Amino acid sequence: MSDHRVLLLAHGSSDPKWCATFEKLAAPSLSSIPDAAIAYMELSQPSLDDEVRRAADDGVKSITVLPLFLAAGRHLRKDVPAMLERLSTEHGIAIELSAPVGEHPLLGDAIRHIVEESLTQ
């Protein structure tokens, strides 16, 4: 077990097909980063609360939360930071919120690649 854990955060949905899409998207990261996990902000399991509690139970000292969001809307500007502050205090774990994946320049390149590929079909 590491002292640090990465949580990939998705919004969550009551639709299992929606969750399956994010679990497939997260799979390469989860398989290559030891002890990484996916967590959902709401409506799905495992919840962010569950995963932070599990990390605390495992003796983790710090967590990086990487949002699988395209942009930083109200949830990432207000709701998630408030949740993370509460969870950090409750569990005595340092929690850092990264920028959403949509702000990373490589995502734009991946989208361009997908668009170009779709034009050749």
Q: Would you name the residues annotated as active-site residues?
A: 11
| Count of Cβ atoms closer than 10 Å to residue 83 Cβ | 21
Cis (ω within 30 of 0) for the bond into 16? no
